[in-house]
Amino acid sequence: MRHDHLIDTKQLTRQDIENVLDHAAEIDADPSAFADRHAGKLLGLMFYEPSTRTKMSFETSIKRLGGDIVDMGPVESSSVKKGESLADTARVIEGYADALVLRHPSQGAAKMVGEFVDVPLLNAGDGAGHHPTQTLLDLYTIRENAGLDDLTIGIMGDLKYGRTVHSLAYALTNFDAHQHFISPGSLKLPRSVRYDLHEAGASVREHTDIEAILPNLDVLYVTRIQRERFPDENEYRAVAGDYQIDFETLEAAPDDLTIMHPLPRVDEIAPEVDETEHAKYFEQAHNGIPVRMALLDSMLEDQ
Ligand code: NCD
């Protein structure tokens, strides 16, 4: 991959993706071999939205490469509270760090900041837009469990506001994947995403129920209804809890179905599913380390 910003998955070719996944596999096989690789390098963390996995796994990854973090900390205790613009804050923090990680509630925020900063910028989620590093760990998990060739995947839940969905769907157009989108009518893929998938020649079908398609799936990617992005709480209540995967749903599932979820889950997957062979969502979260180590390793190379 080029040593510039990672803003969305539209910028990634199949080769870029395979390079990251191959490098992540190499790191996974012997993480200690990379322990001093980026000694002294600093990763600047700018999180304007809650995060557990993404933030902690970036922190773990840079530390496992021998580097460290400088963290803006919670928005409430930063200069953002004094009215500082996002671009100004980013330009200051780039002077402290060798690369930046940004999560922000506004779609397009990472692209905008990318125009102001010279150090590599990684988009860790911009509103309902993109979440490319999540996609790379999703693809790594899919490759390990089901393979990326001739893949039939169901992507279920909040397809409208789910940035992990948008990023994953674009990335899958680089592979021979049949994508089935399952959601209530009000949470279907945004028109712009559907259009881009179509332009990329993707094989896409949309459903409101999972029953008919479940027996054909290799992977089921479940997502949380993004409550914080609903303009009206009543709209959220109308769909909350509509889709749940439990033992009963799984009666029609193929034995080798892989179930994934970017986490956090609310009630989309019943805890009873965790004990089955299908459940790969905790493994998926752990894959965030080798994959983010691989990305940082290549992006920090020339810093
Ligand atoms: C996701 C996100 O922030 O978009 N979480 C994550 O990074 N694993 C999914 C979500 O919040 O539902």
Q: Give 252-288 as a 3 state SS string.
A: CCCCCCEEECCCCCCCCECHHHHHCCCECHHHHHHCH
Active-site annotation, residues: 53-54, 82, 103, 131
User: What digits encode the pLDDT tens for the residues 179-234?
Assistant: 999 999 999 999 999 999 999 999 899 999 999 999 999 999 999 999 999 999 99
- Tokens describing residue 147: 């393979």
User: What digits encode the pLDDT tens for the residues 128-156?
Assistant: 999 999 999 999 999 999 999 999 999 99
Over residues 238-264, the mean pLDDT reads 95
Ligand 1 centroid to residue 20 C-alpha, Å: 21
User: Please, are residues 180 and 207 in contact by the beta-carbon 8 Å criterion?
Assistant: yes
Residue 102 has pLDDT above 60, yes or no: yes
Q: What is the CA radius of gyration of the chain?
A: 19
Over residues 18-38, the mean pLDDT reads 97
Choose between 230 and 1: higher pLDDT: 230
Confidence band, pLDDT 50/70/90 cuts, at residue 241:
confident
> End-to-end distance of the chain based on CA atoms, in angstroms?
15
Mean pLDDT of the chain: 96
Confidence band, pLDDT 50/70/90 cuts, at residue 17:
very high
Three-state SS for 42?
Answer: strand
Cα atoms in the 13 Å half-sphere on the side-chain side of 8:
20
Residue 3 has pLDDT above 60, yes or no: no
Distance CA 214, CA 9 (A): 27
Q: Helices 132-145 and 288-300 meet at what angle, rounded to 10?
A: 120
Q: Which residue's alpha carbon is nearest to atom 7 within ligand 1? A: 54
Residue 1 has pLDDT above 70, yes or no: no
Confidence band, pLDDT 50/70/90 cuts, at residue 2:
very low
Among the atoms of ligand 1, which is closest to the Cα of residue 223? 12
Q: What is the structure's pLDDT at 209?
A: 95
Share of the chain above pLDDT 70, in %: 99
Ligand 1 centroid to residue 8 C-alpha, Å: 15
Q: Which residue's alpha carbon is nearest to atom 1 within ligand 1? A: 262
- DSSP assigned state of 223: -
Ligand 1 centroid to residue 33 C-alpha, Å: 30
Show the beta-strand stretches assigned E in 86-202. Answer: 99-104, 121-126, 151-156, 177-182
List, chain by chain if needed, residues with CB within 6 Å of any ligand 1 atom: 53-54, 125, 131, 134, 163-164, 224, 262-263
Cα atoms in the 13 Å half-sphere on the side-chain side of 118:
5
Which phi and psi (to 5°) does residue 196 adopt?
-65, -35
Q: Which residue's alpha carbon is nearest to atom 12 within ligand 1? A: 224
Ligand 1 centroid to residue 278 C-alpha, Å: 21
How many CB atoms are closer than 10 A to CB 188?
17
Show the beta-strand stretches assigned E in the chain. Answer: 42-47, 68-71, 99-104, 121-126, 151-156, 177-182, 203-207, 219-222, 258-260
